[in-house]
Structure formats: structure tokens, C-alpha cells
Chain A
């Protein structure tokens, strides 16, 4: 399925090769890391940009969609950092870790709470601790994806967050992605979160301002036994025509919990969120969910690759889309239940509301089950708002547009209720409301 296809190099592939050759010497990490980068780029070079004959990228043909590659973003300069410092000083207080154009900026970031260590990816790569390098490289799982490999080859920086075993961190840690104003650029970041046994962490990701060009973020997560990792990502702020690829690679230990929610609103051009989740320890629980709000000619793709290799795990995947104008939504969910993963309970659901005749929604569930005592199910719905609900609300006095807005908000915001931190949940609800309001203002 992923056999190399003899296709001439596209301009984007050529540009990426040139970028890699030019950047390699300056990218962080010693000789070992450099070898990893070269191997990763070799894998990318052999396969090329994924295209529609690559199953996992069938509906998001990057070879066709990525026409060009802007230059790699330079490290932020002092003036830029100063500008951002003023902006964050004016914002509501929060525990932020700030990334500017793929580079962690400690001067703009808050110190971590007790029990949490935060270092830049560059520092961790320089230190070359084998276990961390292996985790970051993710070569056994997730790393096979060519875009994850491209990210490994070009990773400029990132944050590595380690939560000490048993530490329960109440306050959410927020990774904020900002961009220097100016020309479109390409950014590649790779971050990692290691949640020690019995520890818990809520990590939020958000964008600050708008950014053009390409953003490739990869987050590698290891959730230790009995640990809890909750993750809420807000994918917003993409400029028109921008491309953004977010890869989440998560390993979940015994009796641990993984919860990851993402809101995609204002995709700009193309957003792909891909999640590789592997339930490695028995009796773990996972919830993967997301809401995509799309209009114009935006394209948002959520692709899951969930592997159950240990028994007794429970996983729920719940994704919603609201598609307006000429937008395209993609949901692909692959669940693999290995022979030993008996008593797996895996459920997957995708629901799309189509608000215009010109939208497209592509759903592709895939279940591969090798165990014989499991409960697995999937479902997908596509449709408009319920005429019965709209009529009922109108008979109570709500004008059509108001009834419609309430229903859309309810549909989108329901999954936000799962975010345990109320302050954080409020930010997501506000973002949904903002998107709906802009819709209401259409002529």
C-alpha cells in the first residue's frame, strides 16, 4: 500500500529536500540525532509527499495540495520577543510555554509548577539521554508516517515536559504558538510530555495571533501507569491558504487515562490532525474527540490510528464537524485490536452537519480486530439540522436564525463539556461562539 511510486518530484518535494540540506548543520542535536534526522528524511524522500493512493492520506492528497514550501522560519529576534512580551502581559494570567515559529522561548514563558520540569527540545537533544531520544524519535509507532518522519528530520525545537511520578498538577499548562509577523514561513516543532506513574496533567495548546505558511507540530506523549493526561488543543489563527499538520503520538500505560480534544476553527487552508494512540497497558481508558468548524474552501482532516495491544482497555472516539459554504471535512478512524487485547471496548462516532449543498464530508472507519472477546463499534452521520427541532424552537418564539445558532452551538459545544478545567472550557466555548457569530453576519 505504501510502496514507493515512481512519480517525478514535485516542486514542493524538491524545495523540502533543499531546505533539509541547507538547514541540517544548524538544527539542534549531536551526531546521533543527525543520523536520526538523515534516516527520517531518507524515509520521506523515498516515499515523497503522501498522496491519494496512500490509504491514510486518501482524502488529503498532500502531493496535490502542497504546491510550494516557504523558507524555514528564522529564530525570533529580540524586537519580536519584546512585542510578544507586551501582548502576553496584557492577556489573562496563565501558565504559558511560548513557542515562536517552532522555537521555545523561555523568556516569554512562565516557570513550571512544582513537580514539572520543562526544557527545550534543543537542550534535550543535546543531552542525548537515550530513553528520551527514543521516545522523541517514535520510530516504532507513528514515526512510519512520512509527514511525522519529515517533522523528525526538520524539528527546530519544542518543549519537553516531564511530570514527576505521583505529581497531580491542578493548573493547566498552556503551550502557546505564536509567529513573527512577516512573510509566510515553514515551522517544524516537536514536543514531548512524559507523565510519570500516578501523575496527572492537563495540557492546553493554543495559537496566538495569525500565521501564514506551513506549521508542522508533533507532540509525543507517554502516559505512565495510573497516570492521567488530558489535552485540549485549539487549532485556530491559520491565515487563508495556510497549511497545518498536527501529529499526536501517545502511548498509554496500565490503568492510565488519555483524553485529547481539539477544536479546529478557522482552518485557513488545510488542517490535518493525526493521532497515533497505543494502549500498551491493561485497563487504560482513552477519549479522543474533536470539533471542526469549517467554511469557505477550508479542508480539515482528522485521522486516527488507535492500537489496542493490552487487554481491558476502553476507548471512545467522538468527532463532530460543521461544514458550511464549500468546506471539506475528513474523518478517518482506524482501530486495531491485537490478539491479546481481549475485553477491549472501543467506540467511534463521527457526526457532521452539512449547512450547504457544496460541502463534502468523507468518513472512513476501519476496524481490524484480532481478539475474539471485544466490544467495538463505529458510526457516522451526515445531515442537516433537524427540521423538527427548528420548528419546535420557532413555535416558542425563537426566530429561525437564533434557533439555528442555538442548535449549532449545542452540537459543537457539547464535547467541550468534557474539559474539566472550567476556565479553559470557557475559552473553547468563546471560540465556538465567535465562529458562529461570524457565520450569522453573512449577508
Chain B
């Protein structure tokens, strides 16, 4: 279970998240929607452990453990995963080398034995086939020369291999055509389990047609301003965010 309590975050003296509260239960798929610039990506970065932000107050707990005290890699080993809005290119580092290093680093952190090469290869092969990732892509440097859709699929492949307990998908639908969106959503849906929760950040209802959430939260100006079920997303699609933004401005 992820619990965000009274979280206030600033960057360069500007408050981005203000007294934000959010709970995601085990097995829950929660969606956060909201207009540009409301702090959705900031929330994902702060949960994953990016250093550029100042946490003024509040806490983030995963299964009771205070994440804010931990380095990003330790958070990862404890089950946090962030699928990036723009996955980063790592020139010179072969995708397979990277995947193996990441997987084994997490296992080491958790006190588990390293994977053997055949076991590792088998896992990658199975996961890659499901996501329509060709062997040729795995041989290249990580994300280098990949299309937008390929990068997103590579992020989902990493998620499948790392088996997180709490996965954040930051605007995973951006830059995807319908076919790629279907593949990515299929990959996410296949990973849904009672032990794993998701936080899906998106502008649009479209992604939520493919990954149907249990809960939908509306975020505006650094806070969660409304929460509801999957139907809330449909409502937003019709009425837009104007009401929420106006509400906030009036306060």
C-alpha cells in the first residue's frame, strides 16, 4: 500500500505539490488526471526519488516504510518502478547488459542470488515476445535510436522483468499510436495482480479505455481535488478540467 500524507514539495522556491494526500491499496489501479503543470510528473519523480525537489513536509510510505529516506535504487529494490514519460537514452550501454545489471542489483539489495545467464535470457525472451520487442532492439544501446513507441515498450519490458509492487506510469500514452497503445496497455494489464498496484498518470481518458482503473483522482494546482471511480474519467472527458482549475483559483 502506498500512502502519501500531507506532501508539500517545492522546486527552486516554488511550491509544486501542496498538502497532497493519496492512498493506493494493494492491487489497486489508480489514475491521476489533470491539466498540464499541476504537478503530476513531480509527484511521480518525488515518489521515485529524484533529488531536484525539496520535500517541505509530509511523508510517502510504501508498505509502511518511509520512502523519502531512501535512495532511488533502494526504493526500486523495495518495489517502486517509474515508467518515464520520456525514457532516457543511454548511449554505449547495451540493453541486455543494462537489464541484467538492474535485475541483479535489485536482487542483491534484497539478499537474493543473482540470476544465471540462461535464466535471465529466458525471462527477457518471454517478456519481449509479449511486447513485440525484436531481438535486434535488445542488442542495441538502451533506448538509443528507438522510436517513441519502442522506448515505451522497453520501459514496460523493464517493469515486467523487475516485477515491482508499485508502478507509476507517467503519461505512458503520450506519443503512442493506437497499435502501440494497445500493446503497452496489454503489457500493463498482464501485470495486474492483487499484490501489485499502479498509479497511472494521464491527460486523457483514452489510455483508461485500455487500462481500466479502480479509482480516478483529479489533480489541480498541486493537490488531489476530486476522487471517484472509473466513471469520473468519462465525466472529465466531457466537461474538461475547467471547473477544477477555477475552483482552485477562487480559494
Contacts and interface: CB of A to CB of B under 8 A. Distances in A.
Interface of A: 386-389, 391-400, 402-403, 406-407, 409-411, 413-414
Given A396-B162, A397-B109, A414 B73 contact: no
A378 B141 CA distance: 25
A396 B92 CA distance: 17
B101 A406 contact: yes
Contact of A410 (B48, B81, B91): B91
Most chain B CB atoms below 10 A, which of A396, A409, A414 = A396
Contact of A398 (B82, B105, B141): B105
B90 A410 contact: yes
A276 to B, nearest CB: 30
Given A391-B50, A391-B72, A392-B84, A398 B92 contact: no
Interface string B148-184: 0000000000100010000000000000000000000
B225 interface: no
Given A394-B71, A399-B71, A388 B88 contact: yes
B169 to A, nearest CB: 13
A388 B73 CA distance: 14
A405 to B, nearest CB: 10
B139 to A, nearest CB: 13
A388 B50 CA distance: 9
Given A402-B101, A402-B105, A406-B93, A394 B73 contact: yes
A399 B73 contact: yes
A284 B40 CA distance: 55
Interface string B49-91: 1111000000000000000000111011100111010011111
Given A400-B73, A406-B101, A414-B92, A395 B81 contact: yes
B245 interface: no
A391 B48 CA distance: 9
Interface of B: 48-52, 71-73, 75-77, 80-82, 84, 87-93, 97-98, 101-103, 105-106, 109, 141, 158, 162
Contacts of B87: 392
Given A395-B81, A396-B158, 16 more contacts: A389-B90, A392-B87, A392-B88, A393-B98, A393-B102, A395-B48, A395-B76, A395-B82, A396-B76, A397-B162, A407-B90, A407-B92, A410-B91, A413-B92, A414-B91, A414-B92
Nearest to A405: B101
Given A398-B101, A398-B102, A399-B73, A393 B90 contact: yes
B90 A394 contact: no
B103 A397 contact: yes
20 contacts: A391-B50, A392-B88, A394-B49, A394-B71, A395-B72, A395-B73, A395-B76, A396-B76, A396-B105, A396-B158, A398-B73, A400-B71, A402-B105, A406-B97, A406-B101, A407-B90, A407-B93, A410-B90, A410-B92, A410-B93
Contacts of B76: 394-397
Given A391-B50, A406-B101, A397 B88 contact: no
Contacts of A394: 49, 71-73, 76
A411 B92 contact: yes
Nearest to A391: B50
Contact of A397 (B50, B77, B89, B90): B77
A425 to B, nearest CB: 14
Contacts of B97: 406
Q: Shortest 7 CB-CB distances between A and B: which pairs?
A: A410-B92, A397-B106, A394-B72, A396-B102, A392-B88, A397-B76, A414-B92
A317 B143 CA distance: 26
B71 A395 contact: no
A397 B71 contact: no
Which among B51, B72, B98, B141 has the greatest number of chain A C-beta atoms within 10 A? Answer: B72
Nearest to B52: A387
Nearest to B86: A388
A413 B141 CA distance: 13
A419 to B, nearest CB: 15
A388 B109 CA distance: 22
A413 B92 CA distance: 8
